[in-house]
Amino acid sequence: MKYRPLMILGSGSDVGKSLMAAGLCRIFRQEGIRVAPFKAQNMALNSFITPEGGEMGRAQVVQAQAAGLTPHVDMNPILLKPSSQVGSQVIVQGKVYGNFSAQEYYRHKPRLVRKVMESYRRLSRAYELIILEGAGSAVELNLKKNDLVNFQMARKAGAAVLLVADIDRGGVFAATIGSFHLLTPGERRLLAGFIINKFRGDPALFTEGERIIEKRTRRPVLGVLPYAPDLVIPEEDSVALGRKHCRGDWSEADCLRIGVVRLPHISNYTDFDPLEQEPGVSLRYLDHRHGLDGVDLLILPGTKNTISDLLYLKETGLFPQIQAYARNGGHLVGICGGYQLLGMEIQDPLGVEGPPRTQKGLGLLPVVTTMAGAKTTTQVQARTPAAGGGGPTIEAYEIHMGVTEPRGQGQPAFEISSRNGMPVSVQDGWVSPDRRVWGTYLHGLFDNDDFRRGFL
C-alpha cells in the first residue's frame, strides 16, 4: 500500500526536525509500514560511510536505523561539507562532485535536481511511505529561488508538511504564525499542521497557545512534545556544536578531563559523543581562548581544511601551547585531519585545500602527509596493536583526502583487516615511542565500547 509522503520542515535550524523524522520512521515501522527517510540536501559537519563506501549525512543514518534499514546514499543524495567561509565540498549520491562557492553551486542546480529526483524515485518505488526532512528554516526568502530541500521538494513529492517550532528558545508564536504568513498560497495548501517541540513542564499550560496558533493560521497544532535533554543522537551543524562549547564540570577532582580542540573547520565531532556519555569523563571543546591546564587528554579532531586550521593554530598561539603540552608529558590523540596536524609536514602540491603549498606541522609524530585528489571513503574493521585498547577488533570508517607516511620511530596504531567487506592488510596511523601521542585516519573508534573503555 502506498501512503502520501510526509515532510518535516522547521521554523529554524536545530528545532528538532531530524529527531522528529527519526521518531516517525520508528513509529511507522512499528505499525508494519515499509518506511524510509529522505533529505534532498544536507549541510553537515559530520558524515557517515555506507557499506558501499558512499558518504551521507548522519541524521539520515539515524533515521534509517529507526526504520530498520541499512543506510543508503539515496536517503541523502546531496551532502554539503563546509570547507571554508564561502565554499563547500559537494557530495552527490555518495561521491565527491566538486568544491564550490554558493554561486558556483547554484549553476549546477538543474543537474543536481535530476540527481535528487533519481534518488527519491528509487526510494519511493521501494517503500510504502517516505518521511522527508527539510533544512534550516522553511521560509528563508532570499534563498527560496534556489531551494531544493524545503517546499520545492515537498511540491515535487506531493508531501503533506508538518512545521516544527522550538518553544524552548522563545518566540514560538513568531516562529509559527510568522512562518505561516511568509508562505505562498500554494505552500500553505501543503501545510497540514504544527508541532511544538521542547516544551518544559505541563503541556496543558500551552492550551491557550495552541488556540492562538490555530486561530491565526487555521492549521492545527498536532502535538506539544517535551524537552528531552537526555536524548543522545548524532548532531550535525555548528548550531549544535555551539551548545557543546563549555560542557563538562572540571571541578570534579576524580574525573578524566578530555579537551577537544575546536578547529574552525572541525568535522565529524560525533566521534566524541561516546566519550561525553562515559561515566567519570568530562569533555570540553576548547579554542584559543582556553588554556590547556588540567587537561588529561587532548584530542585534535577531523577538519575539512587541515592546512587552514594548521595556520589557525599558529596565528592564535595554540600551536606552541600544544607542543608544550606534549613536551610536559600530556597525552594527545589526532583523528584524521588531527592526525595530519600532529605530523612534521603537510604537503599540498595539487592545491586540494587551496593554493599549492607546504606547511610545517606540530612535529609530535614522525609522519609526513601529502594531500591527494582522490577521496578515501571506506568502512573498515581493524585491530589495535598499539593504541591502548588491548587489541580488540573494532569497526570504524575512513573519510580523507591525504596519504600519511611514517618517517621515524614508533609503530602503527591499527592494522586494518577489512575495507568495505573486502579482506586487506593495511597499517593505519602512528604511535610515538612513549605511547603518549598517536594519530589515526579511523573515525568512529570510540563507538566501540571495549576499545573506548580499554583506552580510557
The dihedral of CA 418, 452, 392, 233: what is its sign? Answer: negative
Nearest to 224 by CA among 196, 194, 192: 196
Q: Which residues of 39-58 are buried (b: 16+ CB within 10 A; e: fewer)?
A: bbbbbbbbbbbbeebbbbbb
- DSSP per residue, 393-441: EEEEEEEEEEEEEE-SS-B-SEEEEEETTEEEEEEE-EE-TTSSEEEES
Tell me how far apart the alpha carbons of residues 76 and 43 are, in angstroms, rounded to a whole number. 10
Amino acid identity for residue 332 in this structure: L
Whether 336 is catalytic is yes
Annotated active-site residue 400? The verdict is: no
**Distances in Å between the alpha carbon of 264 and those of 87, 192, 238, 267, 295?**
14, 39, 10, 9, 20
Query: Which one from 25, 72, 336, 400 is the annotated catalytic residue?
Result: 336
Query: What is the rounded CA–CA span in Å between residue 57 and residue 50?
Result: 10
Distances (CA, A) of 252 to 246, 273, 415, 452: 15, 20, 36, 21
CA distance 168 to 224: 12
Residues ≥6 apart with Cβ < 8 Å to 200: 168, 226, 227
> Rounded CA gap, 35 and 28, in Å?
7
Question: How many helices and strands in the chain, by DSSP H and E?
Answer: 15, 27
Identify the active-site residue in 72, 265, 400, 443: 443
Measuring CA to CA, which residue among 179, 112, 180 is closest to residue 146? Answer: 112
Sign of CA dihedral 384, 388, 394, 396: negative
The single residue listed with the C-alpha cell 518535516 is 8
Q: What is the DSSP string of 131-196?
A: EEE--S-TT-GGGGGG-SSSHHHHHHHT-EEEEEEESTTS-HHIIIIIHHHTS-HHHHHHEEEEEE
**Coil, strand or helix: which one is 339?**
helix
Catalytic residues: 336, 443
